[in-house]
Structure formats: structure tokens, C-alpha cells
């Protein structure tokens, strides 16, 4: 799953317009233009298509947390240079204030069954013996569940 797919799905799910996406980036202290957003949201066949980097998606997700939950006092989170599905899901979980049970229900909406133990393995530290990498399929089902809940 590409970073462009993720931001496109979130935009559709929560019905954000381009100026709102610019505002979300700004909430993380990252400046982007509406033209950049349009290029990220373009189809791959479109000549104006630009691939969204991991760092830019990390800025968006950090801004999304600040946008929905408010900025925390003190230094702000530093945007990661490399993202994986586990980090993306963690940041979305924080931004949307989801608990484990909420995520299980969202995955269930998308016809994907998972136990609480399996889900918690995705949110452990990578050095933990129970840590498990989240594959694209699980992230796709999670985003699909969000879409079914917020924009059926």
C-alpha cells in the first residue's frame, strides 16, 4: 500500500478538502501548498502525480494527531524518515482515540476477524518477542473499516 493511497483513503473517509489537508500538515509545523496536495492525490497515470514520501506522510499523521487531539505541551513529535504499517496504524489509533476493542470492531466491519492478542502484537516495540509486523492487507482492512464506519 502506498503513502498516496493512505492519504487518499483518509481524505475520502473523513471528507477533507485540499485546504483542510494543508491545515493538517500545518498543525505539525510542515508547510505544503494545495498544488502539492493535488499532485499527491492525483492518479498514478496523471503526469502531475507525485509520490508522497514517508517523511511527508509522518508529518501529515503527526499533524492529524495535533489537529484532532490538540497539541501537547513541550516539544512536538519529530516526523520519522521511514514509516511502516505498524507506525501508521499507531498514529491513526492515537489521532482517532481508538482502543483495541474499537480497532477490532473496525476490522470486523471490513470482514476481517482478529483477536485482541493478535492486534496487540502490532503495537508492541519491535524488540519484543511478541511483536508482529502489520502487513498491507491488515492496514487496508483497517482503513476500509474506518471508511465503512464514517462514510458508509
| pLDDT tens digit sequence for 136-147 | 999 999 999 999
Encode pLDDT of 43-68 as tens digits.
Answer: 999 999 999 999 999 999 999 999 99
Spatial contact of 73 and 108, defined as CB atoms under 8 Å apart: no
Report the distance separating Cα 127 and Cα 104, nearest Å.
24
User: And the C-alpha cell for 11?
Assistant: 481524505
Residues 51 and 109 in one domain: no
Who's near 137: CB < 8 A, 6+ residues apart?
none
- What is the span of the domain harbouring residue 108? 85-150
Predicted pLDDT at 22: 97
Residues 63 and 93 in one domain: no
In a domain, 78, yes or no: no
Residues 64 and 96 in one domain: no
Residues 34 and 90 in one domain: no
Encode pLDDT of 86-129 as tens digits.
Answer: 999 999 999 999 999 999 999 999 999 999 999 999 999 999 99
Predicted pLDDT at 77: 86
The CA distances from residue 86 to 31, 110, 113, 124, in Å, are 25, 19, 18, 9
In a domain, 74, yes or no: no
Q: Which of these, 147, 143, 151, 110, lies nearest to 5 by C-alpha position?
A: 143
Instruction: Show which of 35, 69, 103 is a domain's final residue.
Output: 69
In a domain, 55, yes or no: yes
Spatial contact of 134 and 141, defined as CB atoms under 8 Å apart: no
In a domain, 11, yes or no: yes
Predicted pLDDT at 38: 97
Predicted pLDDT at 55: 96
In a domain, 75, yes or no: no
In a domain, 76, yes or no: no
Residues 91 and 61 in one domain: no
Q: What percent of the chain has pLDDT over 90?
A: 93
Residue with grid cell 514520501, as numbered in its chain: 53
Spatial contact of 86 and 138, defined as CB atoms under 8 Å apart: no
In a domain, 98, yes or no: yes
Q: How many domains does the chain have?
A: 2
Residues 100 and 144 in one domain: yes
Residues 7 and 63 in one domain: yes
Amino acid at each position: 500500500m502506498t503513502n498516496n493511497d493512505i492519504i487518499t483513503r483518509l481524505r475520502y473517509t473523513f471528507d477533507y478538502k485540499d485546504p483542510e489537508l494543508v491545515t493538517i500538515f500545518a498543525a505539525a509545523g510542515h508547510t505544503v501548498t494545495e498544488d502539492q496536495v493535488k499532485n499527491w492525490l492525483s492518479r498514478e497515470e496523471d503526469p502531475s502525480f507525485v509520490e508522497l514520501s514517508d517523511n511527508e506522510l509522518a508529518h501529515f499523521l503527526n499533524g492529524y494527531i495535533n489537529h484532532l487531539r490538540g497539541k501537547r505541551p513541550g516539544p512536538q513529535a519529530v516526523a520519522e524518515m521511514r514509516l511502516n504499517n505498524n507506525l501508521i496504524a499507531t498514529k491513526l489509533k492515537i489521532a482517532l482515540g481508538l482502543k483495541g476493542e474499537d480497532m477490532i470492531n473496525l476490522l470486523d466491519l471490513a470482514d476481517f476477524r482478529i483477536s485482541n492478542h493478535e492486534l496487540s502484537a502490532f503495537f508492541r516495540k519491535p524488540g519484543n518477542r511478541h511483536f508482529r509486523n502489520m502487513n498491507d492487507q491488515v492496514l487496508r482492512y483497517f482503513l476500509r473499516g474506518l471508511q465503512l464506519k464514517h462514510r458508509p
